[in-house]
Chain A
């Protein structure tokens, strides 16, 4: 099941989107999330949806792959749609089923909110699908750099994130091994009452924590002997390279916002 999940996964490629600097992508997605809330009528929502589809096309990610991987989230979107559909009591009644009255405004709101949700999920997924986790970390570190002045430990946070990402597969393997070892000793995670099942997780979690702490300890020593003393005076091996296409992305964003302001209905 986990193999089919694509949220947060990276698929290497060489499309225009893949090649962008992580900073421009991060900046774009962050600003896009804000801009999405400017849409308030059919044409602006259509514009957002169309734009998102265009980005998917440029990133050369297969739509089928994307939708298949987002199934669990699609379910959430449909659920939100139904909530609005049923509970919004504004505008003329479209269908009257005695126990349930469906209003025009409910349908409208349902569709809008679903689109909003969908484009947000799609855009962030495209970001993670086309950018390696380590590039995202690098991008974040550089973008957040000004916060160092107000004593935010930006470098430390970024390092923590990159080390966590690096150890995820290691710890997954470890979990699998410990699970197998306890199953072989007759531990049973799949049957019994809820209380029994919770208790059955202890033999899995304790060794996992013990090993994670041991790893952390070893890693700290390995980092120290290799001269790690915090961010001060460090140089960077990973260089970020802002190019013409990255500036173009920001211009496209400005155009998009202008269009949204132009087309949105007056309040």
Chain B
């Protein structure tokens, strides 16, 4: 497996004019391998968005080492590395640069000097990947939030990135928009083997991940497969995170005296467990 990104004891502190400097990221280490889907969760202010800024070189670590594509991120290789990473931010309106869908998708291509005859097929291809090929000439204010975020993903894909970072990309969307975006990313991951890092509160996104990293007060509190993480229900709730519906229901069921076995993160697993329970009586 190829290494995509690694953090080795990375720290970052925000200096503020008044009051204490705030340690947003504190000695964080982890590695992301090619083709993985990593979810980074934590409540607002836990340092997860600062992590995204460090990965894309908007901030540089004050301590520790951050490698992207096996190179230490620095001022010289910044632009080259950025051209190989796609990132989608939270607010759908504030990252739509072009005046129409196709202009926006082409923006990164233009910046990186891709010749015109290559740009056109790439724009069409990327839009097809997010199911937005019928919207070439649409203006942003005629699109829904979910559609705008999918255009943003297409804009990232046009550069054929190795890594896609979603920085709370679904948090301002309605349920339908959220589903559209998650479905598109899931599909991409399966068909192209794209590496995805999603910074999120959304449990469905977390459950799709191969690995979850839980951040609290700038520190990496735990990491592991989603099922393993959600087994620590009480700790997660203590730091203000939510549990998937099935985990919550199993806890209530245990309180009601139903001794179900193991950890269940999806409804399907839980129903099956209850069926076993029902039959074994």
Contact = CB atoms under 8 A, between A and B. Distances in A.
Do A and B have CB atoms closer than 8 angstroms in the complex? yes
Contact of A228 (B102, B111, B114): B111
Given A234-B111, A237-B116, A219 B94 contact: yes
A237 B111 contact: no
B94 to A, nearest CB: 4
Nearest to A228: B111
B116 A234 contact: no
Contact of A222 (B89, B99, B139): B89
B113 A225 contact: no
A226 interface: yes
A165 B99 contact: yes
A235 B110 CA distance: 5
A214 B95 CA distance: 12
Given A170-B140, A237-B116, A225 B56 contact: yes
B194 interface: no
Contacts of B139: 166, 169
Given A165-B99, A170-B93, A219-B97, A226 B155 contact: yes
Given A215-B93, A218-B91, A237-B116, A166 B98 contact: yes
A223 B95 CA distance: 8
A233 B113 CA distance: 6
A163 B102 contact: no
Given A221-B58, A225-B58, A238-B103, A166 B96 contact: yes
8 contacts: A215-B93, A219-B95, A221-B58, A223-B97, A226-B97, A233-B113, A235-B109, A237-B102
Interface of A: 133-134, 162-163, 165-166, 169-170, 173, 214-215, 218-219, 221-229, 233-239
Given A224-B58, A225-B82, A235-B110, 16 more contacts: A163-B97, A166-B96, A215-B93, A219-B95, A226-B82, A226-B156, A227-B82, A227-B108, A227-B111, A235-B109, A236-B116, A237-B102, A237-B109, A237-B110, A238-B103, A239-B116
